[in-house]
Structure 1
Amino acid sequence: MPLIVAAAQTISVAGDVPANIVNHLRVMQAAANHCVQLLVFPELSLTGYEPTLAHDLAILADDPRLAPMRELAQKTGMRTVIGAPLKMSVEKGAGIGIAALVLQLDGTVSVYTKQHLHPGEEKAFVPGFGGTPVLVDDAKIALAVCADATHASHADHAAQIQPAVYAVGSVITTGSYPAESAQLAGYAAQHNMAVLLANHGGPTGGWSCAGCSAVWAPGGEQVAVAPGLGEFLVIATRNDGIWSGEAIAL
C-alpha cells in the first residue's frame, strides 16, 4: 500500500493554545482529506516558539485540551505529531522539555522529547530523551526536533532502525535554512531514507522563519517543498518504492 506523509507548515499564535488547537484541527482535517497517514507539525506548534512563556504554557501528555485532536486522529486514521512544551517527570529530570507528542490511532499519546538543545534554550528547557519510532503499518518513522537534526549522530542513530522517514519538526530561520536543508538532503542520500521537514510558516518567538517545509526522497532528491512562507501542507507519497509529492496552500 502507498505511504502518505505530510508536513504541516503552520503559523502559531504566540501563547494562545486554544487558537492554535483550532488551527491544528483545521489543518488535520485538510490533511485527512488527502488521505495522509502521518502528519507532522513544527516544533512547539501548539504554543509558538516562546521560551519565556514555556514554563506557564507547559502541559502534560494527557492534557484534556488535546482531546479534540486525539479524537480527530482516531476518526481519520491519521497519526499526528504536534509540538508542545512538556512538563517532564521527576524520574526523567524535572523541568520543561520540548516535545513532539504523537497522537496515536488508539487515542493514546506517545512522547518524543528533544535531545539536543540549541544554545540558549537551556534557560527555559531541559534536554529530553528521544522516543520510540512511530509505526505506520510496516513503515517506521524516526522523529527529531529542530537541533536534534543538526547533529549527524542523531540521524546516524535513527538510521540504524532503517526508517522509511526521518521526520523533523523545526524552527528554521531564513539565514539557517540553506545549510540545514542541505544537511537534511544529505541524510536522505547517506542513509537512503526519506526526510521530512515541518517548519513554521511565519515569525515565531522573534525569529524570522523560512517556511519552505519539504520532503526529500531516499537518495536526496527533493520531491515536495512549500514555496516560502504561509500555511501549507507538503505531502509526499511512496508508491511501489517511488516517491512523489506536492505542496498545497491552506
Structure 2
Amino acid sequence: MTDLDLCAAQYSAIAGDLDANLQRHLQVMRLAAEQRIDFLLFPELSLTGYEPSLARELAQATDTALLQPVRTLAKQLRMTTVVGLPLRTAESDAILIGSALCGADGSQAIYTKQHLHAGEERVFSPGTGGAPLHLGDERIALSICADFTHASHARAAVERGAGIYATSVLISENGYPHDSELLEGYARELSLGVLMANHGGPSGGWSCAGRSAFWAPGGRQVVSAVGTGDCLVIARRRQGIWQGQTLELSLDN
C-alpha cells in the first residue's frame, strides 16, 4: 500500500465574490503544497459560498476560463485539487452544484451533485455524478453534501473500486452529529477512508459547523478540525497506517 497525503481545506467563502475566492483558493493550494499534499478537497460551492440566491448569476460553463489558474497551479504543484462552484451546461439552462477536479497532470473533470436537499430544487437541478479519479494506485470517489445521505451513493463508490470517499459539504451545527455519524458508518461498514471538507464560517444564512475530518477504513476518526475557521485537515498514510494533523490558516482578505 503506497503512501498517501490527503487534505480537507476547511474554508470560509466570501459570499458571491468569485475573484476574491479564487485568489484565496490559490493561496490555500500553495500552503497545502508546502505539506506535500497529493489530494486537496474544498467544501461545497467553495468558490462562491453556498448562496442559492446568487447561483444563477454566478454559474459557470464547465469549460470556464475562471478555472485555468487552478488547473495551472494544480499541475505546477503536482497536487490534484477539487473546488466547488455552480455550473451550467451547454445542453440546458439548468444550474448544477458542481465540483471541478483539477488534476496533477493538468487535466480537468467535472462532478455534479446527484441528490439535492429539500428546497435546493427551487434553484438547482440534480446532476449526474462523475467517475472516481485515479491517484497512483488509489481510487477516490467524489460526493457533494446530500449525496452522502444516500447509502447507495457510498456503496456505488465501493462497487466502482474506490478506497477513499471524498465529500465536499455544508454541514450546520445542528446537522453535524447526524451527518458525521453517517460518514463514520461508511468508513466502518464499507472499509472506506472518508474525507470531509466543510465550510469554516457562515454561508448562505447557515451557521456552519466546521470540524472537517477524516475517518480511516474501519471507522477510526484520524483527525478533525476543532471547530470553525480556515484550516488544513491532513491525513497521511504511511505503511498502511493513518495519522493526522491540522494547521490553522490566516488568509488574505
Q: What is the CA–CA distance in structure 2 between the aligned matches of 1:206 and 1:217, rounded to whole Å?
A: 32
Is residue 71 of structure 1 aligned with residue 72 of structure 2?
Answer: yes
Distance 1:104 1:3 in 2: 15
The Cα shift of 1:9 comes to 0.2
TM-score by length of 1: 0.97
Q: Is the 8 A contact 2:61 2:90 kept in 1?
A: no
The letter of the residue matching 1:26 is Q
The equivalent of 1:193 in structure 2 is 192
Q: Which one-letter code corresponds to 1:178 in the other structure?
A: P
Aligned match of 2:6: 5
Match in the other structure for 2:16: 15
What letter corresponds to residue 63 of structure 2 in structure 1?
A: D
Q: Give the match's secondary structure for 1:156.
A: helix
Question: Is the aligned partner of 1:205 residue 2:204?
Answer: yes
Are residues 1:86 and 2:83 paired?
no
**Alpha-carbon deviation of 1:42?**
0.1
CA positional deviation for 1:88: 2.3
**How far 1:109 moved relative to its partner?**
1.5
Task: Report how many residues are paired.
Answer: 248
Alignment partners' CA distance in 1, 2:154 and 2:127: 16
Which residue pairs with 2:29 in the alignment? 28
Shift of 1:89: 3.3
For normalisation by structure 2, the TM-score amounts to 0.96
Deviating 4+ runs (over 2 angstroms): 105-108
Q: Secondary structure at the match of 1:189?
A: helix
Secondary structure of the 1:171 match is coil
State the shift of 1:105 in Å.
2.5
CA distance in 2, matches of 1:157, 1:89: 28
**Deviations 1:146-186 (CA, angstroms, capped at 9, x unpaired):** 00001111111111123221000000000000000010000
Aligned residue number for residue 178 of structure 1: 177
Which residue is equivalent to 1:161? 160
Q: 2-side partners of 1:191 and 1:94: how far apart? A: 37
Q: Which residue of 1 aligns with 2:107?
A: 108
Instruction: Give the partner amino acid of 1:145.
Output: I
2:195 alignment partner, SS class: strand
3-state DSSP of counterpart to 1:118: coil
Amino acid of the residue matched to residue 5 of structure 1? L
What percentage of aligned pairs have identical amino acids? Answer: 50
TM alignment of 1:22-61, pairs within 5 A: 22-61=23-62
Per-residue deviation at 1:108?
Answer: 2.6
**Helix, strand or coil: the match of 1:168?**
strand
What is the alpha-carbon distance in structure 1 between the residues aligned to residue 164 and residue 231 of structure 2? 19
Distance in 1 between the 2:211 and 2:149 partners?
Answer: 17
SS across alignment from 2:214: strand
Q: Report if the CA contact (8 A) 1:61-1:109 is conserved.
A: no
Match of 1:95 in 2: 94
Unaligned runs of 5+ in 2: none
8 Å Cα contact 2:62-2:89 kept in structure 1 = no
Tell me the distance in 2 between the aligned counterparts of 1:140 and 1:128: 21
